[in-house]
Structure 1
Amino acid sequence: MSEHRHARALLLLCGLCVALALSYLFTALPGSLAPDVQGQIIWQLRLPQVLTAILVGAGLTTSAATLQIILANPLADPGIIGINSGASFVAAICLLGLGSVGISLPVYWLPLACFIGALFSTLVIFLLARRIGDLSPAAVILAGIAVSTLLSAAIAWLFWVADAQSLRNLTFWLMGSLDQADLPLTLAAAGVMLPVLGYVMWRRAAFNLLYLGPLQARIHGINLPRFEKIMLLCSALLVGIAVSLAGSVAFIGLLVPHGLRQLVGHDHRYLLPFCALSGAALMLFVLWCSRLNQGMPLPVSLITASLGAPWFIWVLYRNRGSQALVARG
């Protein structure tokens, strides 16, 4: 795909995001509602949901694409390798453990807590993977499964000490939801997430050097250990904020980068912007689909997994799973 076609495709994706956002914002409301009530629904309820969907989609897909090239592993996804579990575990402690003993943290502490959980689980996974396999792709996957299983068991134990209200709140984290979007919290999260996304996009050309191997990366002026640590920190930050806003969202990080590599190629100068915009568009579409059930909004992960898993299986079948990612030497 030429640069002009890339630019046109990016503009089309931007237009699609705008169209989906406006369609959801201004979907007809019951005529019986007063105009001021309709305005409150649009600007205080729907607008935060739209902004949250954009941030979560862009953050998760960019984080997944970053992890896949840093680890040279097509299965590197925040959910699969356990980063989501760390953020969800800390959120469960805040919602279940502290709530059961009458301790209530300010809502704006939750994103910070989720980031700490995501960062902690990332460090544990990579220390364990370095110990068992020198950070090989298989070692990272095995370490991620082990950490994710352990943290899932810890969350299950918290169920025994939680009250009924806390258990209902935990559903938000386990299934994913955009219903609790809060405009001040979303804007605060955007103030952190957007600079991180901007930094990753600014360094996106450096990812292409990783395909050439560590030696070539150093020749071109990339301090590989430092670069990997910074990008892992950025990924953990993006995941922690995304989980704090929308809970655990399944499959989107694994699905979008794989699909785009078949269309855009492996040049990260284009792949990362496409991932961010496509993730935002997909989450906006999921937000729109979640409202099809008027009685009760559908969980986000239910929609993303139901839509994404069949398509991902088709991509693997078509490409025999071997060309999904060109691993660096």
Structure 2
Amino acid sequence: MKPRLLIVMLCVLLAAAFMAELAFGAVRLPIGQVVAALFHFHDRVDQTALIVNAIRLPRALLTALVGAILAISGAAMQGLFRNPLADPSLIGVTAGASAGASLAIVFGGALAGFAGLSLVALAAFAGGAAAVVLVYALATRATGTSVATMLLAGIAISALAGSLTSLLEFYASNDMLRRISLWQMGGLEGANWPRVGLIAVAAAAVLAGLPARARALNALLLGESEARHLGFAVDRTKTVLIVLVAFGVGISVALAGAIAFVGLVVPHIVRLAIGPDHRTLLPASALAGAVLLLAADTLARVVVAPAELPVGLLTALLGAPFFIVLLRGTRDYAL
């Protein structure tokens, strides 16, 4: 498929998924009323306007930006590790965030947070950042940063953080254990405008910074030595990529919990559709990630309405079988 055609299709799907997120839920709203509420066609503030502008619009924006960040970060990590089965969790950010959130829930989850964020969200971001710093420190030597060592260090730190989370779950009360489990399933029900503002800052950095390194990622597909011969600062590129991915994914996980498979499945599918050129792969992955998470969150809110499923649980339930089928039908896994 031509990259431009795919991007146009994804833009159309994004608009449709965004409107569906605003229209569907425990209370279903006609599209006409949603549009009127968004653009203030009526002077009075009615129930529809409150539902759309105060509840669903911040959630839709948060969902789209989280999906875009996770997907474009996954595409960048697959390029950096030169492995189409890589995802952002390989650098330890998700496991570290889970450990940080578990610590906050067990030892002070009821305490106040800061700037509209709960203590759990702040601790999750701190845990994810700490894990990435450890992974990067273990992989960095005087001669540079080894991608292979970073991968192994990420596995080790993720296992360590996972064991800490399991230990906390063992000693947690039933209420605490339920809160930890729900956080690990991912959820967007806590969306509000301060959180949208925070994720918008992260999205601006990630969605601008990663595509700016597209040519360097293309060169890295040939190997680090070849990329250096082509004039790219390989070590600096790796550092910038890790910092951007850790920042974006750390904030996303802190605000929405652990959402599985978006950073793995989306860029893999987009790569199969348009090829490995990161100049188009990165923006297309961001659009596809936003579409996928908006669709998943809409489905999560209507399938058991008026209750809702954790969106991370739904992405895992749908993503894992689809990815298995995709792998079974694909013979060449090279980038």
Tell me the TM-score range normalised by the shorter chain.
0.7 to 0.9
- Of the three residues 44, 52, 55, the one matched with 2:62 is 52
- 5 Å-filtered alignment, 1:296-311, equals 296-311=307-322
Instruction: Give 1:219 shift.
Output: 3.0
Q: Is structure 2 residue 230 aligned with structure 1 residue 220? A: yes
Match of 1:325 in 2: 334
- Of the three residues 297, 306, 318, the one matched with 1:295 is 306
Q: Distance in 2 between matches of 1:302 and 1:172?
A: 9
- Of the three residues 249, 252, 271, the one matched with 2:262 is 252
CA gap of 1:12–1:37, structure 2 versus 1, over 3 A, is: same
Q: Distance in 2 between matches of 1:309 and 1:21?
A: 24
Match of 2:19 in 1: 22
Q: Which amino acid aligns with 1:19?
A: A
Check whether the contact 1:61–1:256 (CA below 8 A) recurs between aligned residues. yes
Match of 2:81 in 1: 71
Instruction: Give 1:259 shift.
Output: 1.2
Match of 2:39 in 1: none
Check whether the contact 1:53–1:283 (CA below 8 A) recurs between aligned residues. yes
Percent identity over the alignment is 37
Match of 1:316 in 2: 327
Unpaired stretches in structure 1, ≥5 consecutive residues: none
Aligned residues: 314
Check whether the contact 1:173–1:243 (CA below 8 A) recurs between aligned residues. no
Q: Which amino acid aligns with 1:235?
A: V
Offset from partner CA, 1:48-100 (integer Å, 9 cap, x none): 2111111111111111111111122333212355320112222222333223x
Unpaired stretches in structure 2, ≥5 consecutive residues: 30-43
Check whether the contact 1:261–1:324 (CA below 8 A) recurs between aligned residues. no
Q: Which amino acid aligns with 1:8?
A: L
- 5 Å-filtered alignment, 1:189-268, equals 189-268=199-278
Q: Which amino acid aligns with 1:239?
A: V
Offset from partner CA, 1:227-278 (integer Å, 9 cap, x none): 1011001010111011012100011111111111111101101111111000
CA gap of 1:42–1:171, structure 2 versus 1, over 3 A, is: farther
Q: Counterpart of 1:325 in 2: which secondary structure?
A: coil
Check whether the contact 1:76–1:141 (CA below 8 A) recurs between aligned residues. no
CA gap of 1:172–1:44, structure 2 versus 1, over 3 A, is: farther
Q: Distance in 1 between matches of 2:130 and 2:314?
A: 29
- Of the three residues 104, 108, 112, the one matched with 1:104 is 112
Q: Distance in 2 between matches of 1:207 and 1:78?
A: 16
Match of 2:37 in 1: none
Q: Distance in 1 between matches of 2:153 and 2:211?
A: 28
Q: Counterpart of 2:259 in 1: which secondary structure?
A: coil
Q: Distance in 1 between matches of 2:128 and 2:279?
A: 26
Q: Is structure 2 residue 283 aligned with structure 1 residue 273? A: yes
Provide TM-score, normalisation by structure 2: 0.84
Q: Counterpart of 1:181 in 2: which secondary structure?
A: coil
Q: Is structure 2 residue 7 aligned with structure 1 residue 10? A: yes
Instruction: Give 1:212 shift.
Output: 2.4
Deviates more, 1:116-125 or 1:50-59: 116-125
CA gap of 1:55–1:225, structure 2 versus 1, over 3 A, is: same
Match of 1:37 in 2: 47
CA gap of 1:147–1:195, structure 2 versus 1, over 3 A, is: closer
CA RMSD of aligned residues (A): 2.6
- 5 Å-filtered alignment, 1:81-230, equals 81-99=91-109, 103-106=111-114, 107-108=116-117, 113-128=123-138, 135=146, 137=148, 140-159=150-169, 162=172, 166-230=176-240
Q: Which amino acid aligns with 1:307?
A: L
